[in-house]
Structure 1
Amino acid sequence: MFLRHPILSLVTLAYLAFVGWLTLSPELPLGDGTDGLVWQILDLLDRIPGTRWIDYADVEFLANVAMFAPIGMFFVLLFGRRRWWAAMLLSFVLSCAIELAQLLFFTSRVADVRDIVSNTSGAVIGALLVLIVTAPKARRLAQARRAEAAALQRPA
Structure 2
Amino acid sequence: MPEPTLTSRRPARKVVMARVLLALCFVGLAAAVLSPSNGLQDHVLRRIGEIAVARRLPFQLVAEQRLEIAANVAIVVPIGALGPLAFPRLRWQDWAAYAFIGAMGVELAQGLLLPDREMSATDVVANTLGATLGAVLVTVGLRAFRARRSG
TM over 0.5: yes
Letter of the aligned partner of 2:84 in structure 1?
V
1:74-99 superposed Cα distances (whole Å, 9 cap, x missing partner):
11212216522221111111111110
SS in 1 for 2:70: helix
2:44 is the alignment partner of 1:37: yes
SS in 1 for 2:128: helix
Q: Partner of 1:46 in structure 2? A: 53
2:18 is the alignment partner of 1:11: no
| Larger Rg over CA atoms | 1
TM (norm. structure 1) is 0.79
Query: Partners in 2 of 1:45 and 1:96 — Cα distance?
Result: 31
More helix by share: 1
Q: RMSD of the alignment, in Å?
A: 2.1
Mapped contact 1:65–1:118 kept (Cα < 8 A): yes
1:45-75 superposed Cα distances (whole Å, 9 cap, x missing partner):
2212242222111001001111111111111
CA shift for structure 1 position 37: 0.6
User: Identity of aligned pairs, percent?
Assistant: 25
Higher relative contact order (CA 8 A, sep 6+): 2
SS in 1 for 2:75: helix
TM (norm. structure 2) is 0.81
TM alignment of 1:73-88, pairs within 5 A: 73-80=81-88, 83-88=91-96
Mapped contact 2:36–2:114 kept (Cα < 8 A): yes
Mapped contact 1:81–1:131 kept (Cα < 8 A): no
Q: Partner of 1:111 in structure 2? A: 119
Mapped contact 1:76–1:130 kept (Cα < 8 A): yes
Inter-CA distance 42–139: structure 2 relative to 1 (3 Å threshold) = same
Letter of the aligned partner of 1:19 in structure 2?
L
1:89-133 superposed Cα distances (whole Å, 9 cap, x missing partner):
111111111101001100111110000011011111101100111
Query: Partners in 2 of 1:52 and 1:137 — Cα distance?
Result: 39
Letter of the aligned partner of 2:51 in structure 1?
L
Please list every run of 5 or more consecutive structure 1 residues that lacks an aligned counterpart in the other structure.
145-156
SS in 2 for 1:101: helix
SS in 2 for 1:109: coil
SS in 2 for 1:52: coil
Please list every run of 5 or more consecutive structure 2 residues that lacks an aligned counterpart in the other structure.
1-9
Paired residues in the alignment total 138
Query: Partners in 2 of 1:78 and 1:32 — Cα distance?
Result: 29
